[in-house]
Amino acid sequence: MNKIQNLTNQTARPTYEIDLNEKIICYDSSLPSIHGENIILIGFMRRILILAFDFGSAEELNFEYKKIREIAESETKILKFCSQVIARNIVFASCSNYTINVFSANETEANCLTKINAHSSYINSIDFSDEYIASGSDDHTCKIFSVKDNYEQHSVLNFSASVTCVKFNPEELNKLLISVKNGNLFIYCLKLRQSLYSFYTHAPLMCFDWSIKNPCIVAAIAYDQIFYFDISKPDIPIYSKRLNDVGKIITIHPQNPLISAVICNRAATELKVVHQKSTISNLFSTKIIAYSGNVTWHSSYLIVGSDRKICFYKIPIA
């Protein structure tokens, strides 16, 4: 089992940070790297910034980044990479209230490929595979759009509460997991156009993540508790862990499904790292300012937006 150094009692400062002098609304980072570079998308009130960054070697402990492109775009709430590179362009989706915009960009130009008037209420989550875009909304629907069919609507799924999170399975991209605020999770097969099965946590269900290392494992946050499921036998959780805080976002470590990064915000916004079976409540914790709706792993680094900065925390795993 991988082990992580206990940093709970330390005052955690970022290993690296990028001060952008403007409030960050949202961001996403590429995993794995896109054509040899590590890319990060950052959404502000009136623009989207695309950066490439490099950590250098572990011995040098240096950090460099460069600006690839800036795009004028108002009130972006969510950013999501496409897993595919098209003609060496970076392809991604952005959400602004009820609308999804799909962009293609490189160092010399940026183009809006399409604008999808997707929902009648706020969009809470999007995911982007090679073939589909999925979105979940407060209008109680999940909608799926076909990339190869010029982003035409593929499916509309109706639920009894807000759809809080949507994500494609990392290996079987025709399977989509959907979380609903009332506590239910559904696995939908795009090929068959039907729900395969569902399982329950409790309300309010805010977020979940698939494990990249073991795509049968799902971790879901419902209020102050994390539920871990094996979707090959999803009737009951394989494990549950109480946070002693209100969880909003969860991201499983790409190489170890027992370790997750969590953003909580009961009294103050806090970034935590938890181990599924550890008796220690938090293996790492630090307060952040005005979280940007996402937290991502990049190798042993955690990336998070905090007010006007993108912060990189090196989490030592031995």
Residue 73 within a domain: yes
**Residue 236: which region, alpha, beta or left (left: phi > 0; alpha: psi -120 to 50)?**
beta
How much is the pLDDT for 10? 44
* Reported pTM: 0.90
| Of the residues 200, 226, 251, the one at which a domain ends | 200
Do the domain assignments include residue 208? no
Summarize pLDDT for 219-247 with one digit per residue, the tens.
999 999 999 999 988 888 999 999 888 99
pLDDT at 267 over 80: no
**14 and 160 both lie in a single domain:** no
Give me the domain span that covers residue 282. 1-21+215-318
Answer with the one of 171, 200, 229 that is the final residue of a domain: 200
Q: What is the DSSP letter of 85?
A: -
Flag whether 304 is in a domain: yes
Q: What is the pLDDT of residues 23-43, one digit of tens each?
A: 999 999 886 555 556 889 999
Find out whether 48 and 42 touch, Cβ atoms under 8 Å: yes
Spatial contact of 49 and 292, defined as CB atoms under 8 Å apart: no
Residues 2, 43, single domain; the answer is no
Compute the residue count for the chain. Answer: 318
Q: Are 92 and 37 found together in one domain? A: yes
Q: CB under 8 Å to 149, separation ≥6 — which residues?
A: none
Domain co-membership, 268 together with 295:
yes
Q: Is residue 59's pLDDT more than 50?
A: no
Is 196 within a domain?
yes
CATH number at residue 76: 2.130.10.10
